[in-house]
Every structure is written in C-alpha cells, then in structure tokens.
Copies of this chain bind each other. A is one copy, B any other.
Amino acid sequence: MAESDVAREPGRGHHPLAARAAGREDPVMRERRAAIAELGDAVRDLVEQVSATEVPADILRQAAAQAREAAAALSPRTRTRAELPSADDLLGGYRMYNPVIGVGSGLAAPLLVELTGTGAVGRCTLGLAFEGPPSFAHGGVSAMLLDQLLGHAISAAGHPGMTVHLEISYRAPVPLQTPLLLTAAMTELAGRRATARGTIATEADPGTALVEASGIFVGLRPEQAARLFGGVRPDATDPQAAHD
C-alpha cells in the first residue's frame, strides 16, 4: 500500500511508522474500523442536529429515547481508561476516537490532516454545535484544533512530544459553516523541546489568519513515558495483552 493511501484511510494519523504498519491490518479490523467510522459519522450528525433543531419538545424527548437506546446497545462491553481501544494502533498511527481528528469520535469536527513537505495542513467545517459567540466558533475550539495540528507538525518533523505551552492570538472570529484551512510547521528545535506555529484561515481567504498559535512540545524520556502510560494496556480485548 502506498503511503498516500495510508494517509487517506479513516482514523489514520501520520506517525512516521504508519506506512510500515499498514500491512498489519487484517480484513476483520478493516471492517471494524469502517463500522466505527460509520457510527462516528452518524453521531456527529446527531450532535449537530441537536444544536440546530427547533422541533417541538415532545420530538426532542423521543430523540432522547432513541439516543439512549443506541447508547445502551453499545454499553455491554466497554474499555476502561487503562485500556487502549482494540481498533487503535499507536505505532500504526490509528487513534480512532481522538476528539479532534478521530473518525470514530462524536466530538471531532473532524479535522482532516495532511502532511506536506514542510509541516501539516488541516481542513474542517464547523457546524452550529461548535458555536461560541453567535454565528462564530467558540474560542476554545480554535485552540483545540491548533493544539492538534501543531502536534502533527512536530511529529512530521520527527519530534513527537506533549504540549507544555500553547499561545493563541485571536485576530478575528472564525465563522461557522465555512470551509477552514489550518496550517502548521515546526519552527524551532532545542534538544527535546520543539516549537511549532500555525494559523486558522478560511479556504476562501487563506492569506488572512483569523487565529494564530504557537506551541512548545517536549518529547517524553522513556522513564516519563513509562510513568505516564505504563499502566495502559495495549488492547482492551486481548486477555493476554491485558496481563502483560
């Protein structure tokens, strides 16, 4: 599979090892990931309709009952926070439920990320569910999109890390229901400390930055990673892995 195909798969991130891991996906996992993406799509649309609807209260209550039914069908078998989703593959770059880019997440726009030679580009359109000031995106949503994209930019440069500092300048409000274009690139590297900068603009006027961000990311030392994530089991459904 070509790397460009890997990048277009649902839920696929951009870890440097993604291409190498692509061969691991079996047909059962491919079907599971497609079903996760279908459910994510449906729930994202529901989240949007919930914020947009003006139907009468009795219909709202009926829809609530339907949503509870769907949730009940999903609840017999769930992971804990100490378990990774079985459809995830950190080395392979699959994070199905990431709240910004995850095709399985009900919270994600989702932001579609592409890596370029010099950084990362993100595209999304925010619905009414993301509204802060009337008709514009919540400022926190812009921060969330940029934190994610800056992370892709430093990972693409070969220096993945966790955010230690994030600065956001809001130049103009970000319109809802408008195709957005985000860009980010690593601008500085000092030891394990990488700085990235990025912007949000509209696709129609890509030269005008509505929001600017600068983030500092620090790569984890092995002992830090062990302390933070040592308790996380790689696969919620593999009993052997659960006891490693």
Contacts and interface: CB of A to CB of B under 8 A. Distances in A.
A134 B229 contact: yes
B106 A133 contact: no
Given A43-B47, A69-B66, A133 B54 contact: no
Contacts of A38: 60-61, 64
Nearest to A72: B49
Interface string A107-137: 1000000000000000000001111111110
A105 B132 CA distance: 12
A97 interface: yes
B136 A47 contact: no
A162 B142 CA distance: 13
Contacts of A128: 79, 81, 97
Interface residues of A, number: 96
Q: How many copies does the complex hold?
A: 2
A176 interface: yes
Contacts of A57: 31-32, 34-36
A236 B38 CA distance: 31
Nearest to A54: B77
Given A98-B132, A232-B135, A60 B78 contact: no
Q: Which of A43, A86, A163, A170 has the most CB atoms of chain B within a 10 A radius of its CB? A: A43
Contacts of A64: 35, 38-39, 41-43
Given A39-B61, A60-B35, A164-B169, A99 B138 contact: yes
Given A66-B70, A144-B141, A145-B140, A46 B106 contact: yes
A17 interface: no
A46 B61 contact: no
A82 interface: yes
7 cross-chain pairs, A with B, having the tightest CB-CB distances, nearest first: A140-B144, A47-B106, A35-B57, A143-B143, A66-B70, A53-B74, A42-B67
